[in-house]
Amino acid sequence: MDWFWIAFISAVLSAAAAIMQKKVLMSIDPLNFSFLISALTAIFSLPFVYTINFATLSNLSLAVLFGKSVLNALAFLCIMTALKHLEISRALPVMAISPMVIAILAFVFLGESLKPLEVAGIILISIGTYSLELKKGEGALHPFKVLSGSKYHRLLLTALALISISSVIDKALLSNFKLPPMTFLVFQNFFFLIIFFVITIVYRRGKISGGSFSLEKKLVILLIAIALVTVLYRWAQFEATKIAPVGLVISVKRISVLIASIAGARLFKEGDYTRRAVAALLIVGGAMMIFRD
């Protein structure tokens, strides 16, 4: 199958996971959700263990992978907390601005040049992000107040920073340490389980459930579906990177934000649908213009 369609399937599955996450988070707190998903994801990763060549692993590469998994786990918890309290069409597009952040940081601190297409992408992302938070009857500075003053938007920006740092470590692990993508994926999923187990134990003071905690059958099914879809979309993304450059695959994968934002806004009956859809389109379109391997 052509790499584009594999990456597109990954995007669709990722969007489906995001919508189901929002649905489940209406009934579960973000920490319990993160722990349960990490446990189920680790279970669904077991079939891939046989692909790992343990002889090629080093203690240093695993230590670095664990450290970067901590960053990703904290970012995931921040995103899930924000997603629980914000509308999906407001939360997800903000996470798509990461290419702009990485490109600007590389320009400022590493002296990397910005191509005209990348500058255009940054402008589109800026316009889209501004439009996303603009409300009728509010002043022109309202979007800036929301992004800086909202607790949950600050969590998204924190997650964005953590993911940006993590992406640099990802490149080092896959390129410098020559860690095979599937090995990377499997170990990361098991590390997530360990990390969220520890966080949950500490936060709940020794009690995983944090008191009375029960799940309806429908929620259990959704949790299993989310974990399964998560493993599948990550696997599809890695398969696509075997055929095409990582930058191209990630660009197509960002379509998931657009799909989830538009479909989620409809499903959860969020207001001002057209403006939010256009804003999400601008952000994702701009992100796809910033091509960075």
The pLDDT of residue 211 is: 45
The pLDDT of residue 33 is: 95
d(CA 47, CA 207): 30
pTM: 0.82
Per-residue pLDDT of the chain (293 residues; tens, 9 = 90+): 788 889 899 999 999 999 999 999 999 999 999 999 999 999 999 998 988 888 878 899 899 999 999 999 999 999 999 999 988 888 888 777 777 777 777 677 767 778 888 888 888 888 887 777 666 656 666 566 666 667 888 898 899 888 878 877 877 777 777 788 788 889 999 999 999 999 999 887 755 544 445 678 899 999 999 999 999 998 888 788 778 776 677 778 878 888 888 888 888 887 777 877 888 888 888 887 876 55
The pLDDT of residue 14 is: 93
Helix (H, G, I), strand (E, B) or coil at 207: coil
The pLDDT of residue 55 is: 80
CB under 8 Å to 150, separation ≥6 — which residues? none
Helix (H, G, I), strand (E, B) or coil at 285: helix
Alpha helices in the chain (DSSP H): 3-25, 30-45, 59-85, 88-95, 98-109, 116-133, 142-149, 151-171, 181-203, 217-241, 246-253, 255-267, 273-289
